[in-house]
Amino acid sequence: MAEINLLGTHPRIIRDYDQRFKEKTPEIIRIAKRFDKDFFDGDRKCGYGGYKYDGRWKPVVKRMKDYYKLPDNASILDIGCAKGFMLHDFKEFMPDSTVAGIDVSSYAIENAMSGVKPFLKVASAEKLPYADKSFDLVISINSIHNLSLERLKTALKEIQRVCRGNSYITVDAWRDELEKENLFKWVLTAETMMHADDWKKLFKEVGYTGDYWWFIAD
């Protein structure tokens, strides 16, 4: 288990937390939590504001392969895969790999990249449709925190069940009061958010032994 940022190559986004807070009505939150076209490809105030492939996962994929010493034929699961952008880059970088992805959004799966679409399923993290120890690496980026606490605990156990030892997750967290304030202004869909130290306690409680990092609103 390690606290490590494997996403450091991502472009830094400037967020207007106060503007988001002004726009974040109960109706906007309700729309976002449908995880449909409005969330991915609708107005920015409802989610991504256009979820399009831009290649940003390529350096992350390379770093993960090196960090976890993945063989060229590794099997990789992405939980909360959306349109499959990361899995597309894994498959390009490691053509002999086996990739799989799940997402609760039927819209995202229906509009996934064609090269990986056959390997994606509509499913939820607390009931992964895979056998024990199926994957060399299980990844979940900013996804399982959209579950309530008890469902999230189950999801962590499911990640532990289907991986062969390597897993990497990122979740909404804070380390000080300003980060907490900004996070609550920004998020639309998260059900479980907590201090980084409390996340670490939760990981130990449920027996999650993989690696982790945070989505921090700084």
The domain segmentation of the chain, as residue ranges, is: 17-215
Which among 143, 206, 149, 196 is positioned nearest to 4, based on CA atoms?
A: 196
User: Which pLDDT score, from 0 to 100, does residue 12 have?
Assistant: 80
Confidence of residue 39 (pLDDT cuts 50, 70, 90): very high
DSSP secondary structure code for residue 8 in this structure: T
Mean pLDDT, residues 141-150 taken together: 98
Q: Which residues pair with 167 in a beta bridge?
A: 138
- Percent of the chain at pLDDT > 90 equals 95
**pLDDT value of residue 149:** 98
CATH number assigned to the domain covering 17-215? 3.40.50.150
Residue 185 phi/psi, 5-degree rounding, is -70, -35
pTM of this prediction? 0.95
Give me the mean pLDDT over the 24-36 stretch: 97
Q: At 170, is the pLDDT very low, low, confident or very high (cuts 50, 70, 90)?
A: very high
Q: Which residue has the tokens 């990981």?
A: 203
Decide if 75 contacts 98 (C-beta within 8 A): yes
Taking all residues of the chain, what is their mean pLDDT, rounded to a whole number?
A: 96
Cα(93)–Cα(159) distance, integer angstroms: 24
Using H for helix, E for strand and C for coil, what is the string for 182-218?
Answer: HHHHHCCCCCCCEEHHHHHHHHHHHCCCCEEEEECCC
pLDDT band at 10 (very low <50, low <70, confident <90, very high): confident
More confident residue, 11 or 186: 186
Q: What is the pLDDT of residues 71-124, one digit of tens each?
A: 999 999 999 999 999 999 999 999 999 999 999 999 999 999 999 999 999 999
